[in-house]
Structure 1
Amino acid sequence: MGFFGNIDFNSLSDTDQAIYHYMSSNVEKVPYMRLRDIAKESHTSASSVMRLIRKLGYESYTEFRSQFSVESVESDRFDDALNILSRNHFPRNIESKLNQIIEKIQYCENIVFFGIGASGSICEYAARRFASIGYNSYALIDPTYPILSKLKNTSDNILVTLSVSGMTNEVVEIVNGFRNKDDFTTVAITADINSTLAKMSDFVLDYHVDIKRVKKHEDLTSQIPCIFLIEQLANRLQE
């Protein structure tokens, strides 16, 4: 924790260590406590608490408490970010879904990753990742590109569409053109299992993520769950 600086724990006295242990175990409470409250809870004295705070490089308790509060909030945010790949952010049968899609991809002729905006950037990464393990893969990020003409004389193609909302009009319109075609299997990777995209796709890999937008149209939603699912597909295929 940054608010404890680079102090050598072994150099602290028994009293200092008692205060240190109390504060590090109660990071959510300390910003709201008075100096004497910490002394009472750690079974030490206010002067002992203040001596440790000065050893940590702070001029006053107010300065220390202010920095402690900032560090605690940042630590909570970091922990929340780490939890974005928690198993409960994916459906229970996610591995079964992955394996079903892998069965289709194994023998396909082409894989097309389709998405626009931030999802389009992930498509380029996905296409490169799958090409690296020997699959004929493309990134489609322009909804006006004549992909059907390009793949006219091919068979056993997979269209993997990336869309957080699964409701983007351009995405839905393109995928609708691939529905019920014998030469294409459609896969959706989306945060909304009930979206239009999910309902029109043959297979769906869904996940939970907090939607974050600025000024309605600027999407700051994390793409980490989507990247994770793409890498799971690639890794399992390679194995």
Structure 2
Amino acid sequence: MSFFGKIDFSTLSDTDKAIYHYLASNSDKVPYMRVREIATESHTSSSSVMRFIRKIGYESFSEFRKEFRGGDTIQTGKYSLVFPMLTVDQFTRNLEDKLQIIAEKIIECDNIIVFGIGNSGYVCDYIARRLAILGCNAFSMTDATYPIGAKLKNTTDNILIAVSVSGMTTEILETVNSLRHEEDMTIVAVTSDGSSHLANMADYVLDYRVDRYRVNHHDDLTSQVSCIFLLESLTNVVASLER
């Protein structure tokens, strides 16, 4: 399991090691087990299992068990390869209808700005390139200080696709807020939080569900797979309309 990678084995007791080895060898069973069952199978006690879970950084058993449900892990030497799952229940049921409506707007508009910063910015570069290949006048904006308002001052029929996992990034919100009241501007939010500030400011929302993952408190390792899937699907619909 990926969260075992930083364990200092010198701090583990013999009981801790017994629990560790059981969990590491039975990752397919753990998501469906109770604390008492893990204790029985590892020949320890329920209190020992809970102490081990807290020792490796989890506040509760449910939080710890949820980690197992995030994906399958294959051990390769000293590294762990974690394959995130992409499932239907990560997206809203009316996704196809929303993609169709937004794609039709894209076909009709003059300018498409795909806007995001940080990890989302790399996604924006990729999606803007896909749209450009399809003949759309699209470009990515990954700098929140870029004078986008001045650039679009004498243009009409613009779409801003704002990409933010949390939907609460201050720089994203400030830029979207400065543009959303423009008469010829359509805002599309792509976010994991359909009730976020960004979603509430948008004309259309493409939302998805994903577990946020940070290391060292500040470094973001949240998967962008769901976001890329949504935006690739959108460009695929645009491509189908262009044919």
Same fold (TM over 0.5): yes
Q: 1:194 to 1:99 in 2, by over 3 A?
A: same
Displacement, 1:230?
1.0
Q: Please name the residue that 2:74 is paired with.
A: 74
Displacement, 1:78?
7.0
Q: Please name the residue that 1:140 is paired with.
A: 141
Displacement, 1:74?
2.2
Q: 2:113·2:160 contact (CA, 8 Å) conserved in 1?
A: yes
Q: Please name the residue that 1:94 is paired with.
A: 95
Q: Please name the residue that 1:216 is paired with.
A: 217
Q: Please name the residue that 1:126 is paired with.
A: 127
Distance 1:140 1:216 in 2: 27
Displacement, 1:179?
1.3
Structure 2 counterpart SS, 1:138: strand
Between Structure 1 and Structure 2, which shows a larger proportion of helix residues? 1
> What is the identity, as a one-letter code, of the residue corresponding to 1:174?
T
Runs (4+) of structure 1 exceeding 4 A deviation are 26-29, 77-80
What TM-score do the two structures reach when normalised by structure 1? 0.67
**Which consecutive unaligned segments of at least 5 residues does structure 2 have?**
1-25, 30-40, 43-71
1:148-181 deviation per Cα after TM superposition (whole angstroms, max 9, x unaligned): 1111111000000000000011110010001121
Distance 1:118 1:28 in 2: 31
Displacement, 1:227?
0.8
Bigger Cα Rg: 1
> What is the identity, as a one-letter code, of the residue corresponding to 1:188?
A
> What is the identity, as a one-letter code, of the residue corresponding to 1:152?
K
Displacement, 1:218?
1.1
Identity %: 51
Q: Please name the residue that 2:161 is paired with.
A: 160
Alignment RMSD: 2.2
Displacement, 1:212?
0.4
Q: 2:104·2:238 contact (CA, 8 Å) conserved in 1?
A: no
- Equivalent pairs, count: 171
1:1-21 deviation per Cα after TM superposition (whole angstroms, max 9, x unaligned): xxxxxxxxxxxxxxxxxxxxx
Structure 1 counterpart SS, 2:89: helix
Between Structure 1 and Structure 2, which shows a larger proportion of strand residues? 2
